[in-house]
Structure 1
Amino acid sequence: MTLRPDLSIIAATVQPRTRVLDIGCGDGALMAALRDRHGCDARGLELDARDVAAAMGRGLSVVQGDADIDLADYPDNSFDYAILSQTLQTTRRPDWVLDQLLRIGRRAFVSFPNFAHWRVRASLLFGGRMPVTRLLPVEWYATPNIHHVTVDDFRAFLKTRGIVVEGCWFLSGDQRTGSAMANLFAEHAVFLLRRAE
């Protein structure tokens, strides 16, 4: 099974035999890889009932729930990692969700599409329209994205919250790109975070 590039980075970084909560886990592809390759105790939370059924069909422990509401029910430090991949920009209160991730997990992975990528900028500047790209594949009126976050926005947010960045990876297409100009050239960002001591 081939994982999306951001999920491959996460799968390669998660330590073996750890407890993982994948929020917005989709069909459970990442959870299955963590279970099968690393012996992780992987659990999932997913809003879409079809994805919940698909993940359960893989023998995974997934509950149907909403990250905007249901994360409050999880105990503090109940997981080694809390993962939120391509979901932050779809939540109503990303700040609250991120606080919950870092309360539930000792570390948190967050990945998101970068709305400051040069193709997005060019679409707005020259076409005057919201972009439709491989990572943003639907028209503005049908997108689940309600918060348009950039790499620099996210870095500034983390700094104001005193959140420690343990690792960050940037993708252009399916290839890694450097961090120096990530706000302009990265289509996608992956951050590994923890609370300050």
Structure 2
Amino acid sequence: MTALRPDLAVIAANVAEGARVLDVGCGDGALMAALRDSRHVDARGLEIDPGNVAAAVARGLSVVQGDADTDLAGYPDASFDYAILSQTLQTTMRPHVVLDHLLRIGRRAFVSFPNFAHWRVRASLLWGGRMPVTRLLPVPWYDTPNIHHVTIDDFRAFVRERGITVEQAWFLKGDRRTSAAAANFRAEHAVFLLRR
């Protein structure tokens, strides 16, 4: 299996063998291909970028071009075991609506996102007075697709207020996992497995 981005590797390791999966914002289909090849998963994808759709289809994947903000409403209830939204939530116009659809479409949902409360982000703002550009957030503020700067603590409150159950959570520091202790300060990325 090709090396996956760290958050995708966490998701791939925790999807059940033979599951039906919808990967929303699937990019070039790297996760879907890994799940198909290693877990025999029936994976479908939704992706907004036509170049990524073409790359995924070239891998033999079932991917359609679409927008998470507008196109999830057409999927039937409980039609997948897992709905996946990796590093896409913060780019959506209405994250609460997208998350509601994920949990309606899938029996469980994986959501991963960059943590904007990580200590390096805080330090960049404090000492430099500017939005950070890092290895994991590599573009300047005016060119970023991120429109909602979410933190781990924000997301925990967000799901708690909506009565969503967190089955598991993983926190990443670079390419490695870190503990849940002070994750809002220490983790660069988070992955949550959710259910209603």
Normalising by structure 2, we get a TM-score of 0.99
Q: Equivalent residue of 1:141, what SS?
A: helix
Task: Give the whole-Å Cα distance in 2 for the aligned partners of 1:123 and 1:87.
Answer: 23
Residue deviations 1:60-84 (CA, integer Å, cap 9, x gap): 0000000000000000000000000
* Residue of structure 2 equivalent to 1:128: 129
Deviation at 1:143, TM superposition (A): 0.2
| 1:4 corresponds to 2:5 | yes
* Residue of structure 1 equivalent to 2:56: 55
* Residue of structure 2 equivalent to 1:41: 42
Gaps of 5+ in 1: none
1:54-133 superposed matches below 5 A? 54-133=55-134
Task: Give the whole-Å Cα distance in 2 for the aligned partners of 1:144 and 1:2.
Answer: 24
Task: Give the whole-Å Cα distance in 2 for the aligned partners of 1:135 and 1:192.
Answer: 21
Q: Equivalent residue of 1:76, what SS?
A: coil
Deviation at 1:135, TM superposition (A): 1.1
Residue deviations 1:171-193 (CA, integer Å, cap 9, x gap): 00001001010000000000000
Letter in 1 for 2:149: H
Letter in 1 for 2:132: P
Determine what percentage of the aligned residue pairs are the same residue.
77
Task: Give the whole-Å Cα distance in 2 for the aligned partners of 1:135 and 1:109.
Answer: 19
Q: Equivalent residue of 2:169, what SS?
A: strand
Letter in 1 for 2:57: M
Q: Equivalent residue of 2:153, what SS?
A: helix
Gaps of 5+ in 2: none
In the TM superposition, structure 1's runs of 4+ consecutive aligned residues that sit over 6 Å from their partners are none
* Residue of structure 1 equivalent to 2:174: 173
Task: Give the whole-Å Cα distance in 2 for the aligned partners of 1:158 and 1:86.
Answer: 17
Normalising by structure 1, we get a TM-score of 0.98
- Aligned CA-pair RMSD: 0.4
